[in-house]
């Protein structure tokens, strides 16, 4: 039987919020079985905000969750994706501000933190949400869907009217190894021409070349260029994986996204929960000849993460 997992130790760091532009202290702590991922606003009298789809209140350029008192945390998707990638079911996330720090714009710094903290098995079985039948949400030329699959697969396609992006598509079976190796370092991205408008709307105040791919009219402005072939669509896969974890459980199924974003991802999750015949909870037993995947399938890279570790 596969069992639930949590962190072995607590770990802390600090970074800048992408949209608010303010310094944030973040701590990851172990949590008991069946807790899920719970955000804890230490600056708001210890307000707790479970990472659940019903708590999503805003999907403009990120996923924002809030509790019944209106206390919120935004930009949760990259951290949630790292928890999925490393198989963490239960954890407390302490923050002294309204936004998860953006780090370097990818999920890799959070992977590094989790690996440094360590991951341990707990006593309760892990539960997956298994997709039983196809389900989709469409809006114009955008579409998101679930299809049955005996493992977790994510496929995504983007299509921008820009010479550096154009049409990109990637499909991956998501395991601990593929997540760390093939998508975790893909950074969020934006267009230089949109920056002034975003900041006027109170967004992207902390954005910089240190935490996002900035795209000019004809070139990437970041020194060193891209980290992956098709890095843009690979980052959209990170976003999708993080958004899907707002179901509170890992998924056995195939998610497909076409030109979609956080809003449509959330709409698909809400539709899934309304159609109880489309999914079921399952526990999974390893095959007799399967080689267990270690908690640290890929060691942290030598590249210095774009955040400060706190002992």
What CATH number did the domain enclosing 220 receive?
3.30.1700.10
Number of Cβ within 10 Å of residue 274's Cβ equals 9
Q: What are φ and ψ of residue 267, in 5° steps?
A: -60, -40
Pull the structure tokens for residue 300: 């942290």
The answer to whether residue 44 scores a pLDDT higher than 90 is yes
For residue 311, what pLDDT band results from cuts at 50, 70 and 90?
very low
Element (H, E) at 82: helix 77-85
Check whether residue 88 and residue 150 sit in a common domain. Answer: no
Task: Please give the average per-residue pLDDT across 270-290, as a whole number.
Answer: 89
> What's the pTM value of the predicted model, to 2 decimals?
0.90
- Which residues, listed in sequence order, are joined to residue 11 by a DSSP beta bridge? 28
Check whether residue 185 and residue 41 sit in a common domain. Answer: no
pLDDT at position 289 = 55
CA atoms within 13 A on the CB side of 57: 14
The answer to whether residue 303 scores a pLDDT higher than 50 is no
Check whether residue 80 and residue 170 sit in a common domain. Answer: no
Task: Please give the average per-residue pLDDT across 272-297, as a whole number.
Answer: 75
Dihedral angle of Cα 283, 286, 291, 292, to the nearest 10 degrees: 30
The contacts of residue 266 (CB under 8 Å, 6+ apart) are 53, 56, 59, 63, 243, 246
Task: Please give the average per-residue pLDDT across 204-210, as a whole number.
Answer: 76
Report the number of distinct structural domains present in the chain. Answer: 2
Q: Is 262 a catalytic residue?
A: yes
Check whether residue 43 and residue 116 sit in a common domain. Answer: yes
Q: Rank 16-30, 153-167, 240-254 by mean pLDDT and report only the highest.
A: 240-254
Check whether residue 142 and residue 174 sit in a common domain. Answer: yes
Could you tell me the residue range of the domain that residue 20 belongs to?
A: 3-124+291-310
For residue 200, what pLDDT band results from cuts at 50, 70 and 90?
low
Q: Which of 40, 14, 50 is nearest to 95 (CA)?
A: 40
Find the catalytic residue in 162, 235, 262, 275. 262
Q: Which of 31, 67, 56 is nearest to 273 (CA)?
A: 56
Tens-place pLDDT, residues 223-234: 999 999 999 999
- Which residues, listed in sequence order, are joined to residue 281 by a DSSP beta bridge? 129
Task: Please give the average per-residue pLDDT across 203-210, as a whole number.
Answer: 75
Check whether residue 62 and residue 201 sit in a common domain. Answer: no
In whole angstroms, what is the distance from residue 185 CA to residue 231 CA?
9
Check whether residue 270 and residue 171 sit in a common domain. Answer: yes
């Amino acid at each position: 039987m596969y069992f639930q997992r949590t962190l072995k130790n607590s770990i802390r760091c600090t970074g800048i919020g992408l949209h608010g532009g303010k310094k944030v202290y973040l701590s990851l702590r172990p949590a008991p079985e069946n807790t899920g991922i719970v955000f804890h606003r230490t600056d708001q009298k210890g307000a707790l905000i479970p990472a659940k789809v019903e708590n999503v209140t805003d999907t403009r350029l990120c996923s924002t969750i809030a509790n019944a008192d209106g206390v919120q945390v935004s930009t949760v998707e990259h951290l949630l994706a790292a928890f999925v990638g490393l198989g963490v079911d239960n954890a407390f996330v302490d923050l002294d501000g309204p936004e998860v720090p953006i780090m370097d714009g990818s999920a890799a710094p959070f992977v590094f933190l989790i690996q440094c903290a360590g991951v341990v098995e707990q006593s309760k079985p892990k539960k997956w949400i298994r997709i039983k039948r196809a389900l989709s949400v469409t809006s114009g030329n955008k579409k998101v869907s679930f299809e049955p699959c005996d493992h977790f697969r994510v496929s995504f396609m983007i299509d921008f009217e820009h010479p550096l992006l154009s049409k990109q598509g990637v499909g991956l079976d998501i395991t601990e190894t593929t997540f760390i190796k093939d998508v975790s370092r893909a950074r969020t991205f934006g267009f230089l021409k949109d920056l002034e408008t975003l900041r006027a709307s109170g967004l992207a105040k902390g954005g910089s070349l240190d935490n996002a791919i900035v795209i000019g009219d004809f070139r990437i402005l970041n020194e060193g260029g891209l980290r992956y072939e098709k890095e843009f669509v690979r980052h959209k896969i990170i976003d999708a994986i993080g958004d899907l974890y707002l179901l509170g459980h890992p998924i056995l199924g195939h998610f497909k996204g076409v030109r979609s974003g956080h809003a449509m991802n959330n709409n698909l999750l809400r539709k899934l929960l309304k159609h109880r015949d489309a999914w079921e909870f399952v526990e999974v037993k390893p095959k007799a000849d399967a080689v267990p995947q270690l908690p640290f399938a890929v060691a942290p890279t030598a590249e210095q993460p774009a955040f400060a570790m706190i002992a």
